[in-house]
Structure 1
Amino acid sequence: MNSTHQLKVSSEVGTLRKLLIHSPDRGLGKVVPSKAQDWLFEDIVHLDTMRREEYDYYVKILLYFLDPEKVKGKLKEIDADASRSFYKPGNPQYFNSDKVIDIQKLLTEILENETIKTKLIASICAVERCSFKIQHKLKEYDASELAKILISGSLPDKSMIFAPVPNFIFTRDIGIVINDYVLLNKPAKTARTRESLLTQYIFFYHSMFEVYRDNIIEIPDNEHHFLLTDDELKSDYLRSTLEGGDVMMVAPRHLLIGCSERTTLYAAQQVMKALFERNVVDTITIVKIPKKRDYMHIDTVFTQVKRNMWVLLGAIARQGDEAKKRDVLHFFAPKEDPDRLQIMQFNKGWENKPTEIENLEDLLTDISKNDLGCAEPVQFIYSGNNEFPFGAREQWTDSCNLLALKDGVVIGYDRNDKTLEAFRTAGFRTVRAKDLLDEFEAGISSPDTLTDTFIMLPSAELSRARGGSHCMSLPILRDDF
């Protein structure tokens, strides 16, 4: 098999070799305050700042680690270009990497096929309830421009024909690679339907995934979903929705699925059935977190830093449980406390009786020691250094949402000061993305030599979108340990 067509992820911290991203598109600049909540975007952002002064560094760091020939020795030339356009497909200076892949590039390539183009236009127009006239007009655009329109919702003349999909920068939510299988997710909100449809077409039609087509898993709806009432469709036990921020491939035979504001128990059960039947994994652990907007997915409350280290929110971990036990009112709370963290582990069969795990630290310790074979003590970094009120404040700006570029080297936001202090206390170097790129260019250090490093990404605008580097990545190839 051609190495450029490899697809396999068996951990959260194996050296990253290939991933899908989506650079901020023009639709992000079209979000208006009155519709921000409906479009699942927390705030309006300044698009140019987000692109040039923040996401730009994210792309450069990714390229230096995954495809260095695209940027090594060229950063001054790239930065001197007034257009600074190398980060978007369709622009003359686009880096065009086959390791750091913008999903817009893949969409453009499948739209070169007239049959696929016609099908996708019809599908999108049906979902967006467009007029026949608009559907006919869309066929006039070439593949590159049409891809921009279908993502951003706006035409080249800046007029809008349907809503933007600002959350498309969070590629983690649209799919997840589990060993050599692809799980296509089912967004909980209708505002993300177009993202899901575009992703479906890309994975089923792009040549990159051709040899894995039989390994693509789609989550089924309840077989009687069309008979359910509106109230029944809101039930965790009848509705089938799942987003990638709630799925973590933590070890070759162990998968975590979060049940959250966006992922239902019904969908988790469907995924368990599909994966156990195909013998993809041996163990699936369900982590049920409170259905709160500030948590949203499990990757907003914990992610892995290295084989024996995790970053997490203390309020839902063991320390949070112990605080509740000291509170007299806890003894009088309803048994089915909606804010209680619950962890159930299923082994080699979704129908088997699960094992209940008491707290998050016990689960993560077990993964590090028994699934990943760590002999070293397992360490925990707490959001905000577990100090009030910084734990909650910094979790809100994605202190727990980190992308591991390799074991012990992560990228996250620069604004979470107390969490960064905790990393430094644990022996990590914290370095600004710009300074690290300067070091790489000067030959002072290289991605290969880095250990125990937190790369700080500028984040004034990105953090307002309520998603961190883990959310902004869909790894499709990592090294095995």
Structure 2
Amino acid sequence: MEKTNDTQRIHVDSEVGRLRRVIIHSPDKGLGKIIPTKAQDWLFEDIVHLETMRKKEYDYYVKTLLYFLDPGKIKGKLQEIDDPKNNRAFYKPSHPDYFNSDKVVDPEFLLSQILDSKEIKDRLVAAVCAHERVSYAIQTQLHALPPSDLAITLITGILPDGKMIFGPVPNFIFTRDIGITINKHIMLTRPAKQARTREGILTKFILFNHPHFAEYRNNIIEITDLDEFFLLDDEEKPFKAVTVEGGDVMTVAPNHLLIGCSERTTIHAINQVIHELFERNVVDKVTMVKIPKRRAYMHIDTTFTQVKKNMWVIFGPFSRYGKEMDRRELLEGLGHPPETIKLELVQFEKGKEGNPRKFESLEDLLDDISQKDLKSTEPTEFIWSGGGEFPYGQREQWTDSCNVLAVKEGVVIGYDRNDKTAEAFQEKGFDIIRAEDLIQKFENDEIQPEEVENTLILLPSGELSRARGGSHCISMPILRDRIL
């Protein structure tokens, strides 16, 4: 496998190439401000216990990523980090012992750095204040904050004195949704829900102003509303909205992008993405995966993700065997016939847009990617959510069994609560290990990260799963080794 040059900061041409740089946002205090009456508005199914999520769950995610991507930042320091006398917030940029890795990067840290510039600070404060419609007095107060405090306030909505001046952006932990790396380009997404608009503003300022991305500014793709969208009446606008979120976008091969048409990503956005990518020669093929517009599915990465070149974890009811894996005969007795889930899978190729290719099933599409795009030498295989057994497939899909992050081919991070899916991985020859145990093995030199193969790493997930996003959702890869 050809490795990406270490001087290169941005390049992703697959879902499973060795992960080298990733953007993640550790849970911030804004999540602890969600109240039941606002949970739905802020896109949460439930309120979460912040300290449990931070210290007993996400903590292991950060440590796992550091050991694989930047071990020098954590190796030999585990005992000190875990000392009860410390507040164990080393993963927050505001902490004096923040690990400050350029491989595992928090957007809060990047944001605080660009806010050192008065010009950028003025423009960003003005943009956020206009969006949040705050008073002139509040805007003046924000201008007076030092960069690190201002970054926290812009994300959480909370001033250093504890006063809440506008709502948090609790979904910022799902960094997958704010941008997608497609080869040497980054596509800024356009959130479907008002609760996520501020995330888009902050991300845009980071990408266009931080030195980390300076060489790639001409490669940033912005997705915008259609021309004259502002002239449409309010009844017509929802039918022509342009929204796209990162969970619906997968760079599956150097020449191929998948994009979901879902609850969060519209057909008008997909049309724009296809034109942009083809005009810029970013990819040769874009395949639309149209799924039912439901909260339960939300994005395509909640229903399938890639594990190896030739292996995918998949939600059974979306497969060609869907009827067998989604038995609901009991509903018929109540006068409600079983629902048939039908996907639309349409592939557009540059230069042949008027003659799209259609796939009969999700397995056919994924097999085509594995065999033709990624040139796998082994047959394509599938791991079913919940082992393909009703009702575990549906239960575990809800808690992100299909939403795994590959740190390298065959080594993926998932949630520990999805027992049946873990058993399905084991049946395919995977080792199953808790993140806590693997981290301790790394620390004790019992095994090295480069020696880990065919492994499902399980994160504790009682609170993380309440947020409705798995390890794939809480990551934005910006650099992977080349897959071919």
TM-score by length of 1: 0.95
In structure 1, which of residues 177, 193, 198 is the aligned counterpart of residue 197 of structure 2?
193
Question: 2:393 corresponds to which residue?
Answer: 391
Question: 1:7 corresponds to which residue?
Answer: 10
Once the two structures are TM-superposed, the CA of residue 117 in structure 1 deviates from its matched residue by 0.3
Once the two structures are TM-superposed, the CA of residue 43 in structure 1 deviates from its matched residue by 1.1
In structure 1, which of residues 225, 250, 253 is the aligned counterpart of residue 229 of structure 2?
225
Question: 1:102 corresponds to which residue?
Answer: 106
In structure 2, which of residues 244, 252, 255 is the aligned counterpart of residue 253 of structure 1?
255
Q: Call closer, same or farther: CA 1:118–1:442 in 2, change over 3 Å.
A: same
Secondary structure in structure 2 of the residue aligned to 1:107? helix
Letter in 2 for 1:82: N
Question: 1:333 corresponds to which residue?
Answer: none
Distance 1:240 1:322 in 2: 36
2:327–2:390 contact (8 Å) kept in structure 1? no
Q: For each residue in 1:420-439, what CA deviation from the matched residue of structure 2 results, as whole angstroms up to 9, or x when unmatched?
A: 01011110001000100111
Question: 1:70 corresponds to which residue?
Answer: 73
Once the two structures are TM-superposed, the CA of residue 339 in structure 1 deviates from its matched residue by 4.6
Question: 2:365 corresponds to which residue?
Answer: 363
Question: 2:206 corresponds to which residue?
Answer: 202
Q: Does residue 154 in structure 1 map to residue 127 in structure 2? A: no
Once the two structures are TM-superposed, the CA of residue 322 in structure 1 deviates from its matched residue by 6.6
1:276–1:350 contact (8 Å) kept in structure 2? no
Question: 2:37 corresponds to which residue?
Answer: 34
Secondary structure in structure 2 of the residue aligned to 1:10? coil
Distance 2:109 2:8 in 1: 16
Distance 1:230 1:46 in 2: 38
Letter in 1 for 2:78: L
Distance 1:473 1:52 in 2: 18
2:322–2:341 contact (8 Å) kept in structure 1? no
Percent identity of paired positions between Structure 1 and Structure 2: 61
Letter in 2 for 1:44: I
Distance 2:387 2:271 in 1: 35
Q: How many residues align?
A: 472
Q: Call closer, same or farther: CA 1:364–1:255 in 2, change over 3 Å.
A: same
Distance 2:321 2:276 in 1: 35
- Structure 2 matches for 1:418-437, cutoff 5 A? 418-437=420-439
Q: Name stretches of at least 5 consecutive residues in structure 1 with no aligned partner.
A: 331-336
Once the two structures are TM-superposed, the CA of residue 233 in structure 1 deviates from its matched residue by 1.8
Distance 2:73 2:237 in 1: 48
- Structure 2 matches for 1:116-155, cutoff 5 A? 116-155=120-159
Distance 2:340 2:27 in 1: 35
Q: Call closer, same or farther: CA 1:61–1:375 in 2, change over 3 Å.
A: same
Q: For each residue in 1:130-163, what CA deviation from the matched residue of structure 2 results, as whole angstroms up to 9, or x when unmatched?
A: 0000000001110000000000001112111000
TM-score by length of 2: 0.95
2:313–2:402 contact (8 Å) kept in structure 1? yes
Letter in 1 for 2:172: F
Q: Does residue 182 in structure 1 map to residue 186 in structure 2? A: yes
Letter in 1 for 2:406: A
Distance 1:150 1:401 in 2: 29
Distance 2:278 2:72 in 1: 41
2:224–2:242 contact (8 Å) kept in structure 1? yes
1:290–1:338 contact (8 Å) kept in structure 2? no
- Structure 2 matches for 1:279-318, cutoff 5 A? 279-318=281-320
Q: Call closer, same or farther: CA 1:208–1:350 in 2, change over 3 Å.
A: farther
Q: Give the 4+ runs in structure 1 shifted more than 3 A.
A: 1-5, 321-327
Q: Does residue 410 in structure 1 map to residue 412 in structure 2? A: yes
Question: 1:473 corresponds to which residue?
Answer: 475
Once the two structures are TM-superposed, the CA of residue 310 in structure 1 deviates from its matched residue by 0.2
Q: Does residue 319 in structure 1 map to residue 316 in structure 2? A: no
Once the two structures are TM-superposed, the CA of residue 351 in structure 1 deviates from its matched residue by 3.4
Once the two structures are TM-superposed, the CA of residue 352 in structure 1 deviates from its matched residue by 2.2
Secondary structure in structure 1 of the residue aligned to 2:149? helix
Once the two structures are TM-superposed, the CA of residue 414 in structure 1 deviates from its matched residue by 0.3
Distance 2:354 2:105 in 1: 40
Question: 2:344 corresponds to which residue?
Answer: 342
Question: 1:46 corresponds to which residue?
Answer: 49
Distance 1:240 1:56 in 2: 36
Question: 1:234 corresponds to which residue?
Answer: 238
Q: Does residue 56 in structure 1 map to residue 88 in structure 2? A: no
Q: Name stretches of at least 5 consecutive residues in structure 2 with no aligned partner.
A: 333-338
